[in-house]
């Protein structure tokens, strides 16, 4: 493989660009996921509405927190395993007692990461392409 001629620091910049660019977006999605897994309170919600449109399944559920306040959440996903409920059916959810409006279904929290495998795969392809480009110059 022919080595490209650009400064060594550019190799590392190219290598780290996908991760650095996506890190703020990942942190925004990851923080509530981790917080609910460790500090969440389980409760039951009732699915009030659902529909499927253009490859995306949407459902709305309602639950009550520890102060008996009612909360609604609309879940949009392309994963049918998270939405295997009928309207009016009880759904296990986890909410944050400090911020009761923050909730996820237990199915969502079973995932290791809160985003789809397609997103992870896209990042991996970009990271691999950048590693190949960065390696074309040679490290060091």
Taking the CA atoms of residue 78, residue 84, residue 89 and residue 90 in that order, the dihedral angle to the nearest 10 degrees is -90
Task: Return the percentage of the chain with pLDDT > 90, whole number.
Answer: 29
In a domain, 31, yes or no: yes
In the chain, which ranges are E strands?
Answer: 41-53, 56-64, 70-77, 90-95, 103-105
d(CA 49, CA 85): 10
d(CA 118, CA 65): 33
- pTM check: above 0.85: no
Number of domains in the chain: 1
Supply the DSSP string of 35-71, one letter for each residue.
HHHHH-EEEEEEEEEEEEETTEEEEEEEEE-TT--EE
35-59 residue pLDDT tens: 999 999 999 999 888 888 887 888 8
In a domain, 85, yes or no: yes
> What's the start-to-end Cα distance of the chain, in Å?
17
Instruction: Output the pLDDT for position 80.
Output: 60
- Of 8-17, 48-57, 71-80, 95-104, the range with the lowest mean pLDDT is 8-17
For residue 131, give its domain range: 8-137
In a domain, 3, yes or no: no
C-alpha dist (Å) from residue 48 to 13, 63, 85, 90, 99: 48, 10, 10, 10, 22
64-76 residue pLDDT tens: 999 999 999 998 8
């Amino acid at each position: 493989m022919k080595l490209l001629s650009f400064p060594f620091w550019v190799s590392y910049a190219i290598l780290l660009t996908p991760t650095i660019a996506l890190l703020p977006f990942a942190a925004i999605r990851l923080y509530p996921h981790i917080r609910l897994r460790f500090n969440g309170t389980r409760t039951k919600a009732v699915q009030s509405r659902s529909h499927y449109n253009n490859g995306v399944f949407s459902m709305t559920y309602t639950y009550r927190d520890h102060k008996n306040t009612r909360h609604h959440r609309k879940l949009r996903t392309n994963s049918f395993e998270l939405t295997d409920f009928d309207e009016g059916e009880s759904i296990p959810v986890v909410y944050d007692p400090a911020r009761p409006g923050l909730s996820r279904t237990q199915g969502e929290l079973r995932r290791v990461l809160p985003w789809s495998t397609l997103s992870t795969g896209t990042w991996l392809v970009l990271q691999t392409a950048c590693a190949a480009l960065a390696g074309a110059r040679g490290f060091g």
